[in-house]
Copies of this chain bind each other. A is one copy, B any other.
Amino acid sequence: MANAAQVQRMSRLMIKTLRDDPADAETASHKLLVRAGYVRRSSAGIWTWLPLGKKVLENVSRIVREEMDAIGGQEVLLPALLPKEPYEASGRWEEYGDLLFRLKDRKGSDYLLGPTHEEIFTLTVKDQCTSYKDLPVILYQIQTKYRDEARPRSGVLRGREFQMKDSYSFDTTDEGLAQSYALHREAYQKIFQRLGLDYRIVSAVSGAMGGSASEEFLAPASAGEDTFVDCPSCDYAANTEAVTVKVAPVDGGAHGPVEELDTPDTPTIEALAEYLGVQASATLKNLLVKVDGEIVAVGVPGNREVDLGKLGEHLAPATVELVTAEDFVDRPDLVRGYVGPQGLAGKAFRYIADPRIAPGTAWITGANKEGRHAKNVVAGRDFEVDDYLDVVVVEPGDPCPKCGTGLKIDRAIEIGHIFQLGRKYADAFELDVLGQNGKPTRVTMGSYGIGVSRAVAALAEQTHDESGLCWPREVAPADVHVVAAGKAKQTELALEVGERLGAAGLRVLVDDRAGVSPGVKFTDAELLGVPTIVVAGRRAAEGVVEVKDRRTGEREEMTVEEAVARLSA
């Protein structure tokens, strides 16, 4: 739309559509983008964008650029080939592991292909900005990024070379960072809305990037690699690792005293539940882990799994490891398979419990003796909890933390991510500016990403139907696809319609291919997914064409004049 008007004749377009899905393709976007001639595989996870694909990629980039400019973002272009040293200073040269493409130049110096550019942007601002007057600054680039994924798949959804918009904000105050973050959040909402993507904003854990507030923009799609929880009643949505349940205490007075049971050969919850004929949810599972080398027990209902990622996030920067047989050698008080918190919590180990182990609830748990369990073990009466942390893997039906309704778990594609990084990188590179008080002030940063090539795949996932792609207008490779369905007369009319629509400022694709049957042309038009299809067919001699909406399938015959007037309105 913002591009110059143009008419592209398919007879002169390099395009070869395919009737069959590529053998290795599993997702709709992968299949359709290849079949419609938008992309071709170069090597594993590395793709060529063919003419129509490049147009869509460019349209997405333009929308991103316009909205980044609107919040005062300044576009720059940093190298993709980066020296090792800054990434060593931040620790990411090692942390990235095999995900990083590393290489040496002719002199033997180490380089990497940039997976994301926090280090280099920090150094750029350190070089360019010296005073609080120079901030805030938002810098962005739309650039080729590299990650050596272990399992590149799903076409351009998860590539090893891909297009990304990354931006970085630099502020002197926490309030400034919050403001830069809010600007990005709004810009991202506009971008995804303009792209025509259905998306949810979810709270995210901060992951390897460090920092505090963080949200992900997820496009629900069955092909997505991310799962998220979604409340059917309220607007709550979150990364599955970010869900935190609160459970209120209950009255534990109704429970009888602790009673020991003989439960031979029941070191697992499954064996115990079967032996006693109870639900696993009636038992209390105590997982032993080492936190910075100290043994900690984590209590969760027997039917739930501990999410070690969530646990790690809660306890960061401490490191969490599973215990090994060696850890039991000097600890005869810890009876493997029969551990219970009663008598031990807060003494033999720090005791972390899921909020579901609320004060007043009663459990069947280990009796701290081989082959024995205890029942009526009541939280707050028979043991104390050091910390209540939600550390279980979230499950469908868990209560919404906001309204209590049972949550759904859906799949989605992560299309954007916004982060309040804080001072992690500024500390690593000593990024200070002269503050208003005349003293050096450490800068605080945000980092924000949109997967530009991934957004194309996400759009294909969300908008396709069984006939093919189905682009929203602003990202479509053309506004109108004119099909010449017949012989010379039809081709002549199709080209005339194309010229007139082009003159009216529309981007037009005219299928004027000779020797291609109308049936093939119709099939290709559906596959390519341009929003409006105009057919010059049976009634071409009368100057009548058919105008079809690709998405709804609604079709109507009208004169060329009416069609041009309607479509250019």
Instruction: Point out the residues of chain B lying under 8 angstroms from A76, CB to CB.
Output: 48-51, 53-54
Q: How far is the CA of A309 from the CA of B184 in the complex (A)?
A: 56
CB neighbours (8 Å) of A53 from chain B are: 76
Number of A residues, CB within 8 Å of B: 61
**In chain A between 29 and 49, which residues have their CB closer than 8 angstroms to a CB of chain B?**
37, 40, 42-43, 46-49
Distance A430 CA – B273 CA, assembled complex (angstroms): 68
Q: Is the contact region of chain A dominated by helix, strand, or loop, or is it mixed?
A: mixed
Given contacts A14-B137, A48-B124, A137-B14, contact A81 B54 (CB under 8 A): no
Q: Is the CB of B81 within 8 A of A50?
A: no
> Are B72's CB and A48's CB within 8 A?
no
A552 at the B interface (CB under 8 A): no
> Using an 8 Å CB-CB cutoff, how does the interface string of A455-494 with B read, 1 for contact, 0 for none?
0000000000000000000000000000000000000000
Neighbouring B residues of A50 by C-beta, 8 Å: 76, 124, 128
Give the chain B neighbours of A137 by CB distance below 8 A. Answer: 14
Could you list 28 examples of A-B contacts with CB < 8 Å?
A12-B72, A14-B128, A14-B134, A15-B128, A16-B129, A40-B124, A40-B127, A42-B82, A42-B120, A43-B81, A43-B82, A43-B83, A46-B82, A47-B79, A48-B79, A48-B120, A49-B77, A49-B78, A50-B76, A50-B124, A50-B128, A54-B76, A55-B75, A80-B144, A81-B101, A101-B105, A102-B103, A106-B148
Interface set, chain A 158-196, CB cutoff 8 A to B: 160-161
Set B74, B79, B103, B161: member contacting A161, Cβ < 8 A: B79
| Cβ-defined contact, B103 with A103, below 8 A | yes
B residues less than 8 Å from A129 (CB atoms): 14, 16
Interface residues of chain A, those whose CB is within 8 Å of chain B, are 6, 11-16, 37, 40, 42-43, 46-51, 53-55, 57-58, 69, 72, 74-83, 98, 101-103, 105-106, 111, 113, 120, 124-125, 127-130, 133-134, 137, 139, 144, 146, 148, 150, 160-161, 514-515
Decide if A48 touches B161 in the complex (CB within 8 Å): no
What are the nearest 8 A-B pairs in CB distance?
A: A103-B103, A49-B77, A98-B106, A51-B74, A43-B83, A46-B79, A16-B128, A42-B79
Output the least CB separation between A488 and chain B (Å). Answer: 17
Q: Which residues of B contact A40 (CB under 8 A)?
A: 124, 127-128
Known A-B contacts A81-B160, A106-B148, A106-B150; the reply to A74 vs B13 at CB < 8 A is yes
- B residues less than 8 Å from A98 (CB atoms): 106
Do A146 and B81 contact each other (CB < 8 Å), given the known contacts A14-B74, A50-B128?
yes
Closest B residue to A97 by beta carbon equals B106
CA distance A74 to B11 in the complex (A): 13
Tell me the smallest distance from the CB of A257 to a CB of chain B, in Å: 58
